[in-house]
Structure 1
Amino acid sequence: MTSPEQVGVRREATDAEARALASGLRLRILRLTLDEPLTNREIAEALGLNPATALHHVRTLVDTGFLEALEPRRGRRGAREIPYRSTGRSWYMSTPVGASSLLEAFLAEIATVPEPDRDLTRLGLRLPAAELEELRARLWELVQEFHDRPRDPEAEPWSLFVALHPDTSQRPRRSP
């Protein structure tokens, strides 16, 4: 049987998957472990967490299949440590509660990026429904195209955050 991940199709997350992805901290753990497996200790250090707190989140991600445990290795002082790597499954999930956790993860990550290294823009639009759908489709196709390209382990890692939403800063238009 072919999984949605194998054919590149998004699917609705189960309740457990949606709960796992509803945490900005868990999304940051997935990002940290996307290209390099990290132990619980390394994850805790990278995020400034207590190792027990990190382990709680790691276990949730392992239980839902978003992280996989690799072969144990010897860490500092010969202790047995388990490295974890992101499975990439979260890309193929659609959740009704994911937007706030995505924003939470983005804000935490962008706060650590020096101002000159940020490339941000905002754009106000007025589009008819058909053009709005065209914009959504073209944005999705572009992002999916870059997602599907082979990852170059030697390339510098970058992050992309895209948000399209109704503009609530505009005053309502008056009727003629």
Structure 2
Amino acid sequence: MTDAAVPGTAADADARALSSALRMRILRLCLDEALTNKEIAGRLAMAPATTFHHVRLLADRGFLAAQPERQGKRGAREVPYLATRKSWRTPMGPGQGRILIQAFLDEFALSDPARAEVVRLGLRLNEEDRHDLLRRFSDLFAEYAAREPDPDGEPVSLFFALHEDAGRLRQI
């Protein structure tokens, strides 16, 4: 049994922290800009009290890092948070694919469809070719994840899913 599957371990707690489409969206919002809980809530059109629990959990598990405090418009103390990119290196728990898909759908719904590049492809692969395809995509994603963000670059997201095409399974 891997550490990620052992209840009560740090890996299990990390997997639970990532088991929410809302928390995945919070991480994306804080990827290259430090935001306060109030700013996060505003961008998600939610009440700050609703997002506070999620922000604290992500910070407690090391997925968000508190930045130096700043003073808000009314003089209140504000703590902005920046994503640490730990989620890229963290094994996901069961059902994580559905959570990532939901986060993707929530974010995609807010985007300009004319600016989206979408590809859908049906293949028939043997196990060796399937592993090769996954390795090549994983290598490419890791390369881009390791790059320093371009401060003048356009923020974009990339979503990839390789899944069984159940409707095309051969019937016996």
- What TM-score results when the alignment is normalised by the length of structure 1? 0.88
Tell me if structure 2 keeps the 8 A contact 1:22–1:100: no
Query: Which residue of the partner structure matches residue 37 of structure 1?
Result: 34
Following TM superposition, by how much is the alpha carbon of 1:58 offset from its aligned partner in structure 2, in angstroms? 0.4
Tell me if structure 2 keeps the 8 A contact 1:39–1:83: yes
Partner Cα distance (1:132, 1:71) in 2: 45
Partner Cα distance (1:67, 1:149) in 2: 19
Query: Which residue of the partner structure matches residue 148 of structure 1?
Result: 146
> Equivalent pairs: percent with the same residue?
48
What per-residue deviation string (whole Å, max 9, x for no partner) do you get for residues 41-80 of structure 1?
1000000111001111001101111011111101111111
Partner Cα distance (2:28, 2:169) in 1: 38
Q: Which of 75, 78, 83 is equivalent to 2:72?
A: 75
Partner Cα distance (2:119, 2:78) in 1: 42
Residue type of the alignment partner of 1:37: A
Query: Which residue of the partner structure matches residue 125 of structure 2?
Result: 127
1:61 and 2:49 matched: no
Partner Cα distance (1:155, 1:60) in 2: 30
Tell me if structure 1 keeps the 8 A contact 2:37–2:80: yes
Query: Which residue of the partner structure matches residue 93 of structure 1?
Result: 90
Q: Secondary structure at the match of 2:167?
A: coil
Query: Which residue of the partner structure matches residue 4 of structure 1?
Result: none
Query: Which residue of the partner structure matches residue 113 of structure 2?
Result: 115
Residue type of the alignment partner of 1:157: P
- The root-mean-square deviation of aligned C-alpha atoms, in Å, is 1.4
Runs (5+) with no aligned partner, structure 2: 5-9
Tell me if structure 2 keeps the 8 A contact 1:37–1:84: yes
Following TM superposition, by how much is the alpha carbon of 1:25 offset from its aligned partner in structure 2, in angstroms? 0.5
Tell me if structure 2 keeps the 8 A contact 1:66–1:90: yes
What per-residue deviation string (whole Å, max 9, x for no partner) do you get for residues 112-151 of structure 1?
1122111111110011111111111111111111111221
Partner Cα distance (1:90, 1:47) in 2: 20
Following TM superposition, by how much is the alpha carbon of 1:84 offset from its aligned partner in structure 2, in angstroms? 0.7
